[in-house]
Amino acid sequence: MTDTKPDTSHSELMRVLLHTSEEDTERLRNMGVEIGKLYTDHGYPIDSAFDQLATYSKDQKLLILNGASSWLIQHKRNSGATDAAIDRQRRTNREMLDRFVKTGEVGIY
């Protein structure tokens, strides 16, 4: 079954990447990786972490969330997850990014 919905999170992420310096992009993505580690290693909800980022713009938060998404996939790989489990995580990440673009909420508690 193919997904025919437009991937708004991908296009939004690409727009942000094109307008952000490489140094800022790397810093924000690394922050996202750390937030992802808080979630996977300690159970600290991503939404709660995002509540602490009130001074960051939505574009900056999108890059941070992209870093967290990358970590969630890496964590699955490191844990020996199957390809199917990694694909499910990718779908969940896309939904999470899309939800954030549309509503400003991550939805991962």
Domain residue limits, the chain: 29-103
More confident residue, 3 or 98: 98
> What confidence category does residue 8 fall into, taking pLDDT thresholds of 50, 70 and 90?
low
45-68 mean pLDDT? 92
pTM for this prediction: 0.80
Span 9-27, average pLDDT: 76
49 close to 34: Cβ distance less than 8 angstroms:
no
- Assess contact for 20 and 63: CB atoms under 8 A: yes
- Per-residue pLDDT, averaged over 89-101, amounts to 92
Structure tokens at 80: 């020996």
Averaged pLDDT for residues 17-31: 84
pLDDT, tens digit, 9 for 90 and up, residues 63-77:
999 999 999 999 999
Distance CA 64, CA 30 (A): 7
Determine the pLDDT at residue 1.
41
Work out the average pLDDT over 16-30. Answer: 82
- What's the rounded Cα separation, in Å, for the pair 96 and 98? 5
